[in-house]
Structures are given as C-alpha cells and as structure tokens.
Amino acid sequence: MRRLLIHLGNIGHLIVKELRSIRADPVMLLLVVYAFSVAVYTVATGVKLEARDLTIGVVDEDRSELSRTLLGAFGPPLFKVARVIPASAIDAEMDAGRLVFVLEIPPNFQADLMAGRRTGLQLNIDATAMTQAGNGSVYIQQIIAQEIARATAGREATSTTPVDVVVRARFNPNLDSGWFSSVMQILNNVTLLTIVLTGAALIREREQGTVEHLLVMPVTAVEIMLAKMAANGLVILVAALASLTLVVEWWLGVPVAGSLALFAFGAAIYAFTVAALGILLGTLATTMGQFGLLAIPVFVVTQLLSGATTPMESMPVWLQWTMRLISPTPHFVALAQGVLYRGAGLDVVWPEIAKIVAIGGAYFAFALVRFRKVIFA
C-alpha cells in the first residue's frame, strides 16, 4: 500500500510539472482555445451538407402556363431565383460554374402532357460536388413531380398514390447538418490535439534535454508516461466539455440529449488511448518536424475511416473490421453519437467503452515498451 501511495505521489507531482509546461506555452494554449471555440462554430455554420442556394437555369421552349409554374417553383431557400437561358448558353454557363443545374423544357410539353402523350424533361447537372448535385437533383425531381401532379389533377394535390408516407426525423428533426458537424468537430479535435500535445510534450523534453533530469529522479517509465498522458488528456477533456456546453449547446443551440457525465467518462478513456498513441509516435520521431509528419497521416486515416465523416456501412466490410480492430476512433464516434444525439445510457454504450479500453491497453503496452527502449535505454 505504501509503495502504491509513493507511485501515486510521483505521478501527481509529474502531472503538476506537465500542467505548468502547458501553461508556459501560450501558442499551444491558444491553439486549444481556438480549436474548441472558433473552429467548432465556423465548421458548424460554414460546412453544410444539405442543399442551399443552388443555382439553376431553365431553358423554356414551351412557353406555357405549366412551364412558367415550374420556373417559379424553384426559389429560396433551396434555390436561388431560376434564370431563363437559351439552349445555346447551357455549355458556357455550366463550364464557367455559374449554374449547377439546367432544366430543359421541350416545345409542346404541357400540350403533350395534358393529351396523355409521352413526353419528358432533361436535367443537366454539374456533378463536381457530388453531395450537392445528388441532393439538389432529388429536390428538383420532387418539385417537378408535385407541380405536374397539381396540373394534371386540377387541384392542390401532392400525391397520386393511395398511400400517404409520413416521415418522422428523430434526433435532428430539422435535418440541420450543423447539429452533426459541430459535435463531430469536437471529436476530431479531441483526437488531433490529444495526440499532438502528448507527443509534443515528449519531443520537447528530448529536444531541450530536460528528459535527462527525469532519468536521474526516483521515478519509473510508467509514472512518466501516465503523468504526460493524464495532464494533456485532462486539458483536452476540460476544453471539449466546455466547448460542448458553451459553443454547441449555448452558442449554436444544439440540444444534447444524453448524459454529459457519461460522455465525459467515455471521452476520458478515449483521451487516455489516443494519448498513448501520441507517446508511441513521440518515441518513433526524434524531432518535432518528424513527429508532425507521422501524426498527420495517422490522424487523417483514423478520422476519415471512423464514421464521423462518412458512414461505416459505406466502407468495404474488411475495412470496417480492420478499423474497428486497430482504431479506437470508430468506437468513440459511436459512443458519442449514441449518448449526445440519442440519449443512450451505459447499458447501450458499454460495449464501445470496453472496446476502447481493450485497444487503449494494447496501445499503452506497446508505447511503454518503446518508451523504455528509447528514453531509458
């Protein structure tokens, strides 16, 4: 028991030392504040996945009442006011990027439609931005179908089928991508900054020569590692919770459905895991530049294949299993989405927590071996 207290006391003193080192680095502190405040807000308000203010042109060769109705159906907020253009201007307008969609209405469109003859419309799409093009084309087809149904029925009808489909959007009733991107940005920052701060703390000790001071002190490799991981993880965890409360809930107005305490518990375990990864990368690099080059691809791969950017289900099955086996990020994303969006409790998310613990234990063991070999050799 006495030996355990000695170890805990050493870790406590080392944590204080690490916190003082972080406080003495104003650039790093400014980066943390910016990442969890301005960056979260700008991403949530500036990166929109839904279609807004799309540009559309209409080639009206019919000049009928129905074609004018279709022209007036495209407006804010989904579309900017539709522009009537000649057919000869289609290529020039789309090549210059001034129009994303061009709808061509052929001659005698309304007459053929009312007479029951087969007719059609052509929609030209600039598919450079695939998400925007896909969402916009769906909206245009729905608008056209609705207006044609009204014209052919002669009354305000919205469907020609005997079945009414009622859509109920849960957890994000307004389908606002800002609700999603704001929380995911916090998760991304937790991953990136925990790796950077922990690895940079080790690299800084080696570059400044202060690691030799630790080697002559009565402390073990485990104590030094745990202190660096705990101090840097604590800073990121406090910043993440403050961002979730002040920026996401208060500033952006995004409701948090679940328990912040449960999220903080899972985030603390995840921060421990990625901090061990930061220590591991710090032992593989000898300079801050090398560490940065190692950290960037690791972060990019873990985030792009975590489910925070694209659904895990859209990936190949072998890649899904690989990422869930070697990376804790997919499990943390699933945990955060379950708790913060759907109000899930511990009984639902405990498998994800257990997986993060298992992967974190493997990371810590590997990092400890490398730490002893590189620092205490």
Q: Per residue in 305-356, pLDDT tens?
A: 998 888 888 889 999 999 999 999 999 999 999 999 999 999 999 999 999 9
* Residue 286 pLDDT: 85
* Residue 350 pLDDT: 96
Question: What is the value of pTM for the model shown?
Answer: 0.81
The C-alpha atoms of residue 185 and residue 309 are separated, in whole angstroms, by 10
Mean pLDDT of 127-133: 78
3-state DSSP assignment of residue 94: helix
Report yes or no: 199 and 295 within 8 Å, Cβ to Cβ: yes
* Residue 208 pLDDT: 77
Report yes or no: 21 and 201 within 8 Å, Cβ to Cβ: yes
Mean pLDDT of 129-144: 84
Locate CATH 3.40.1710.10 in the chain: 56-153
3-state DSSP assignment of residue 215: helix
Higher pLDDT, 13 or 30: 30
Give the tokens for residue 218. 């009565």
Mean pLDDT of 278-298: 91
* Residue 40 pLDDT: 95
**CA dihedral of 347, 352, 353, 357, whole degrees rounded to 10:** 150
Give the tokens for residue 96. 């210059």
Q: How many CA atoms lie within 13 A of 202 on its CB side?
A: 34
Tell me the per-residue pLDDT of 150-201, one tens digit each, with 9 for 90 and over: 887 754 444 455 566 677 888 888 778 888 899 999 999 999 999 999 998 8
10 Å Cβ neighbour count for 38? 11
Domain 56-153 adopts which CATH fold?
abc type-2 transporter like fold (3.40.1710)
Q: How much of the chain, in percent, has pLDDT values that exceed 90?
A: 45
* Residue 156 pLDDT: 45
Helix orientation angle between 260-284 and 288-304, rounded to the nearest 10 degrees? 140
Mean pLDDT of 209-234: 84
The C-alpha atoms of residue 194 and residue 177 are separated, in whole angstroms, by 26
The C-alpha atoms of residue 90 and residue 92 are separated, in whole angstroms, by 6
What is the band of 269 on the pLDDT scale with cuts at 50, 70, 90? very high
Higher pLDDT, 230 or 80: 230
* Residue 207 pLDDT: 78
Average pLDDT, the chain: 88
* Residue 377 pLDDT: 62
Q: Range with the lowest mean pLDDT among 76-90, 112-126, 206-220?
A: 206-220
Q: Are strands 83-84 and 56-60 parallel, antiparallel or unpaired?
A: parallel
Q: Range with the lowest mean pLDDT among 34-38, 122-126, 129-133, 160-164?
A: 160-164
Q: 86-100, 108-122, 324-338 — which one is most confidently predicted on average? A: 324-338
